[in-house]
Amino acid sequence: MHPMLNIAVRAARSAGNVIVRAFEQQDKVEVEAKGLNDFVTNVDKLAEQAIIDTIKKAYPSHSIIGEESGVHDGEDQDYQWIIDPLDGTTNFVKGIPHFAVSIALKVKGKLDQAVVFDPIRGELFTASRGKGAQLNGFRIRVNQAKELNGAVLATGFPFKQKHHIDSYLAMFKDLFAKTADMRRAGSASLDLAYVAAGRVDGFFEFGLKPWDTAAGELLVIEAGGLVTDLTGGHNHTKSGNTVAASARLLKTILTDIRPHLTESLKK
């Protein structure tokens, strides 16, 4: 295992321990709103600190971007860690056991290492640039589906961008009519990990943040898939509008999405 991936795994497991202990004591979880339909708990903050402490101990000069604590500039700007300590906070708060720790490392602006860890199931998804993707040490690959017939797609509702609801529902309707089924599970990092593992055939969602998708994107790419924005371009990191699947299926998904794109969704 790459030494920096090893540190990411150690950090993810440390955060996972914090999360699992808290999940078993829901009465001690403190919840506050940080925006419209956007929640944070004391557990998010404790898990993020556990990750930062682990990374800083190994690589004190590296930079870190955390969902909860923001930017931690380091002397070495070539190395940037992007972390979401608890992706699926709403599930966690509601007692739904589906959430993950997401940690990615960019080296000179390119995704290099990735970990998505589901602490409830004990599933560790990892990827190193050019080395493939794994689930608990075993190689994973995206499903090479060519058409929507028989496919299962994952998605996320635009709960922070409800002004896009009409466009989203139109896309959902067209895709749902052609697929076997759709899934909305509440954790984008796990959705992308499941695409990488072939558990779902594709994924699309609006308005995601870099910490939601960075690790999952590398997992999908290293598992043989593609990640784009809603037009098939590469602006998803900025726009947060993300589509992931095998190359052929992604093209098909984009074809059904295209008629419903507003100008703001094309950016």
Q: Left, alpha or beta for 71 (phi > 0: left; psi -120 to 50: alpha)?
A: beta
Within 8 A by CB and 6+ apart from 36, the residues are: 160
Asked whether residue 203 carries a pLDDT value surpassing 80, the answer given is yes
Is 182:104 a contact under the CB 8 Å cutoff?
A: no
Instruction: List the single range of 29-38, 72-81, 125-134, 220-229 with lowest mean pLDDT.
Output: 29-38
Q: Where do the structural domains in the chain lie, given as residue ranges?
A: 3-138, 152-266
Asked whether residue 38 carries a pLDDT value surpassing 70, the answer given is no
Instruction: List the single range of 65-79, 125-139, 141-155 with lowest mean pLDDT.
Output: 65-79
Output the pLDDT for position 179: 98
Output the pLDDT for position 123: 98
Type and span of the H or E element at 41 = strand 38-41
Q: pLDDT-based confidence at 39, cuts 50/70/90?
A: confident
Question: How large is the C-alpha radius of gyration of the chain?
Answer: 18
Output the pLDDT for position 36: 60
Q: pLDDT for 14-37, tens place per residue?
A: 999 999 999 998 878 888 876 665
The domain defined by 3-138 carries CATH number 3.30.540.10: yes
- 119-140 mean pLDDT: 98
Q: pLDDT-based confidence at 238, cuts 50/70/90?
A: very high
**Residue 49, SS3 per DSSP:** helix
Q: pLDDT for 40-87, tens place per residue?
A: 788 999 999 999 999 999 999 999 999 888 888 888 889 999 999 999
Output the pLDDT for position 83: 97
Asked whether residue 186 carries a pLDDT value surpassing 70, the answer given is yes
Is 112:4 a contact under the CB 8 Å cutoff?
A: yes
- For the chain, the average pLDDT equals 94
Output the pLDDT for position 161: 79
Output the pLDDT for position 1: 81
- 175-192 mean pLDDT: 98
Output the pLDDT for position 215: 98
Asked whether residue 90 carries a pLDDT value surpassing 70, the answer given is yes
For the chain, helix (H) and strand (E) counts, in that order, are 8, 15
CATH topology of domain 152-266: D-Maltodextrin-Binding Protein; domain 2 (3.40.190)
Output the pLDDT for position 263: 84
pTM of the model: 0.95
